[in-house]
Amino acid sequence: MGMKTYLIDDDQLAVYLTEQLLRAEDFSNSIHTFGSAREALNTLLGEGQEAAPQVVFLDLNMPLMNGWQFLDALHPYKAHLLGRCFIYILTSSLALADLEKSRQYDLVAGLIHKPIDSGEIRAIQSRLLPGPGPAALWA
pLDDT in tens, 31-87: 999 999 999 999 999 987 778 999 999 999 999 999 999 999 999 999 999 999 999
Nearest to 10 by CA among 32, 31, 33, 27: 33
SS3 for 6-45, per residue?
EEECCCHHHHHHHHHHHHHCCCCCEEEEECCHHHHHHHHH
pTM for the model: 0.89
Give the pLDDT confidence of 72-111 residue by residue, as tens digits: 999 999 999 999 999 999 988 878 888 899 999 999 999 9
* Measured CA distances, 63 to 75, 76, 125 (Å): 20, 23, 30
Domain 4-138 adopts which CATH fold? Answer: Rossmann fold (3.40.50)
